[in-house]
């Protein structure tokens, strides 16, 4: 009986200890959970909420800065035009109708000035120059939506702060088009006219795009919509925003949306970034709930996690080590190795280092092979052009020798010697534009002996061309095509001009002739052949000879190997009374041509 009582007593004590341990564990769990929640609230949730609101403010500032940059670019563009003193002279000549010869001449010259300022890229709808009375003088593109008169703006320009302070302003036309207007003023403050840049609505919409989960509205000083993202649908209204004296901030609207705003000091436009309240506070609430679940799961399943994670960690490491050891440059079809080894982590590190070494060797071999391929393709392209040129010149020398023109033969041999030295000297190395033009002069001097006074040619010269590099035999094939094809049905004198222009990091070459030009559809056919050749050696066996095949296509492909996407090539016939065609090559000496 005593033994039974003792056993029951020990059982009650054991059960009591287990219960105390359980409640003690639960109390510690609640204390840890409470401390963790306090920590998460002050150290994670509140900073996360502040960070989300700051991100909305920064988003509004970013959109506003993009608009400011776009307006700043238009200001710089207008400055480049006003820096040309010829604009003041053209606008001060008098009121010429655009239907008169003087008016057309002035309009054409102003368009040339605008083209020089804009360059090859265009991020505006149009550019117009108005006289002092607000009448249009010249338009760069001539868009149908351009305002015929600037008088409505001139009537209200005195009320605009930026116009009185800086001489430029942003103006919304009755058709909702937005323009950057600047006075054409010299250093003495004399106004000759007005320059209007029609802003591209696509660029304004692009500045507001790109914010996930929110909407962006850009409003002018009169709370009229400038652009939005996403673009408003037909019949959709713009939300009403609370006016504030502060230039930036954030508030909760009556429709439970967070609204961050920023007013630009340069444009006066206000950018509003609107996000629903649940989107802004969603991450905060998610962190709160996930934190509770996480701490509970970590306490209850910590030992189970350690056991299964350790078991599942060794097997992938063992398989990964086996795969790495079997990878090489020519064999990617690997299988997991089931062999067992000791000290898995050390062996995995050694195998990974060996893999890195093999990959480095493979990369070096690939780079060397690619370099050799480019050299071979360039040499092959040039080898197709050089024999054609030498054959023509030797034929001309033989004719001069038969006619007994010893002096002519001597001069032609000297020119040919210089040309051959130029062709065969390191054919895959680049040369300067000055050397290429010198070689073209040698070629035309040789051809001149055959055509005598019927052929007239002119080539630009300038020391700055030494900074421009290009492959050998780029200009000469185009000149040769002019002689072989352009003058077949044209009466002499035959004229060839090689013009070179360098500005703003770009260089341009134009080869012009006064021949019969290209047949309809021929230019498109040539350009299609160039696009379809993929910068490789042009195959001649499936194409007829003539302009647009070996000479033009191979020359352009050699330029593509050097300039890739920094090259622009074009062919066009002359319009108007003049005849002939022009081959145009434009390239950039920097890497940001497009």
Closest by CA to 49, choosing from 334, 372, 288, is 288
The confidence score (pLDDT) of residue 112 equals 87
DSSP labels, 6-75: HHHHHHHHHHHHHHHHHHHHHHHHHHHHHHHHHHHIIIIIHHHHHHHHHHHHHHHHHHHHHHHHHHHHHH
Instruction: List CB contacts of 225: < 8 A, sequence separation 6 or more.
Output: 217, 218, 219, 232, 238
Closest by CA to 329, choosing from 361, 306, 304, is 361
End-to-end CA distance of the chain: 101
Q: Tell me the per-residue pLDDT of 463-490, one tens digit each, with 9 for 90 and over.
A: 788 888 888 888 988 888 888 888 888 8
Closest by CA to 196, choosing from 123, 140, 112, 267, is 140
Strands 168-172 and 215-219: unpaired
Q: Is the pTM of this model over 0.85?
A: no
**3-class secondary-structure state, position 141:** coil
Higher pLDDT, 356 or 106: 106
Q: Tell me the per-residue pLDDT of 403-414, one tens digit each, with 9 for 90 and over.
A: 888 888 888 888
> Cis bond leading into 570, ω under 30°?
no
Separation between Cα atoms, residue 554 and residue 203, nearest integer Å? 38
Name the β-bridge partners of 221: none
For residue 120, give the DSSP letter. Answer: T
Contact between 215 and 230 (Cβ < 8 Å):
yes
Greatest mean pLDDT range, 232-236, 311-315, 333-337: 232-236
Instruction: List CB contacts of 159: < 8 A, sequence separation 6 or more.
Output: none
Would you say residue 401 has pLDDT above 70? yes
| Planar angle of CA 333, 337, 338, nearest 5 degrees | 150
Higher pLDDT, 201 or 495: 495
Counting Cβ atoms within 10 Å, is residue 375 exposed (0-12), middle (13-18) or buried (19+)? middle
Higher pLDDT, 458 or 300: 458
Higher pLDDT, 262 or 365: 262
Q: Tell me the per-residue pLDDT of 519-571, one tens digit each, with 9 for 90 and over.
A: 878 888 888 888 877 544 444 333 333 334 456 887 888 888 788 788 899 99
Separation between Cα atoms, residue 573 and residue 516, nearest integer Å? 9
Question: Could you tell me what percent of the chain has a pLDDT over 70?
Answer: 72
H or E stretch including 446? Answer: helix 433-451
Which regions of 93-247 does DSSP assign to beta strands (E)? 124-130, 136-139, 168-172, 178-185, 191-199, 215-219, 225-229
Counting Cβ atoms within 10 Å, is residue 55 exposed (0-12), middle (13-18) or buried (19+)? middle
Tokens found for residue 235: 């019949």
């Amino acid at each position: 009986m005593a033994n039974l009582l003792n056993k029951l007593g020990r059982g009650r004590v054991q059960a009591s200890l287990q219960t105390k341990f359980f409640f003690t564990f639960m109390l510690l769990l609640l204390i840890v959970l409470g401390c963790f929640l306090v920590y998460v609230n002050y150290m994670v949730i509140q900073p996360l909420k502040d960070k989300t609101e700051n991100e909305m403010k920064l988003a509004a500032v970013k959109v506003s800065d993009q608009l400011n940059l776009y307006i700043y670019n238009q200001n710089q563009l207008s400055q480049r035009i006003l820096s040309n003193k010829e604009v003041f002279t053209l606008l001060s000549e008098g009121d010429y109708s655009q239907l008169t010869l003087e008016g057309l001449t002035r309009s054409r010259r102003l368009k040339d000035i605008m083209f020089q300022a804009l360059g090859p890229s265009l991020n505006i709808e149009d550019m117009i120059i108005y006289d002092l009375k607000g009448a249009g003088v010249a338009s760069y593109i001539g868009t149908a939506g351009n305002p015929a008169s600037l008088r409505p703006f001139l009537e209200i320009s005195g009320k605009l702060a930026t116009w009185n302070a800086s001489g430029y302003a942003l103006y919304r036309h009755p058709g909702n088009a937005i323009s950057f207007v600047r006075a054409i003023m010299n250093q003495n403050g004399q106004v000759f006219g007005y320059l209007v840049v029609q802003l591209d609505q696509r660029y304004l919409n692009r500045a507001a795009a790109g914010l996930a989960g929110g909407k962006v509205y850009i409003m002018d000083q009169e709370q009229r919509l400038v652009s939005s993202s996403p673009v408003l649908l037909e019949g959709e209204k713009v939300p009403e925003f609370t006016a504030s004296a502060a230039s930036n901030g954030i508030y909760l609207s009556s429709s439970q949306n967070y609204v961050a705003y920023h007013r630009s000091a340069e444009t006066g436009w206000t950018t509003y970034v609107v996000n629903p309240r649940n989107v802004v506070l969603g991450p905060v609430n998610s962190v709160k709930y996930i934190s509770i679940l996480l701490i509970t799961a970590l306490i209850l399943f910590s030992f189970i996690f350690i056991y299964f994670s350790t078991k599942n960690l060794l097997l992938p490491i063992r398989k990964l080590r086996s795969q790495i050891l079997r990878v090489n440059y020519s064999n990617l079809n690997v299988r997991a190795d089931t062999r067992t080894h000791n000290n898995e982590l050390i062996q995995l590190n050694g195998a990974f280092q060996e893999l890195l070494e093999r990959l480095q060797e493979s990369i070096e071999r690939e780079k060397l092979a690619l370099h050799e391929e480019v050299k071979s393709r360039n040499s092959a392209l040039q080898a197709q052009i050089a024999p054609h040129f030498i054959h023509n010149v030797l034929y001309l020398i033989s004719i001069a020798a038969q006619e007994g023109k010893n002096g002519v033969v001597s001069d032609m041999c000297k020119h040919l010697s210089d040309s051959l030295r130029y062709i065969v000297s390191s054919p895959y190395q680049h040369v300067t534009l000055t050397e290429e033009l010198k070689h073209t002069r040698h070629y035309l001097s040789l051809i001149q002996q055959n055509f005598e006074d019927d052929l007239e040619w002119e080539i630009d010269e300038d020391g700055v061309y030494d900074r421009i590099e290009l492959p050998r035999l780029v200009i000469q094939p185009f000149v040769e095509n002019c002689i072989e094809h352009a003058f077949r049905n044209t009466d002499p004198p035959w004229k060839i001009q090689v013009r070179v222009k360098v500005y703003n990091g770009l260089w341009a070459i134009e080869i012009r002739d006064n021949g019969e030009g290209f047949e309809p559809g021929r230019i498109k056919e040539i350009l299609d052949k160039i696009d379809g050749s993929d910068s490789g050696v042009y195959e001649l066996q499936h194409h007829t000879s003539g302009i647009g095949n070996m000479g033009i296509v191979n020359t352009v492909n050699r330029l593509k190997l050097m300039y890739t996407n920094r090259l622009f090539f074009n062919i066009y016939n002359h319009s108007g009374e003049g005849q002939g065609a022009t081959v145009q090559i434009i390239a950039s000496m920097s890497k940001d041509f497009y």
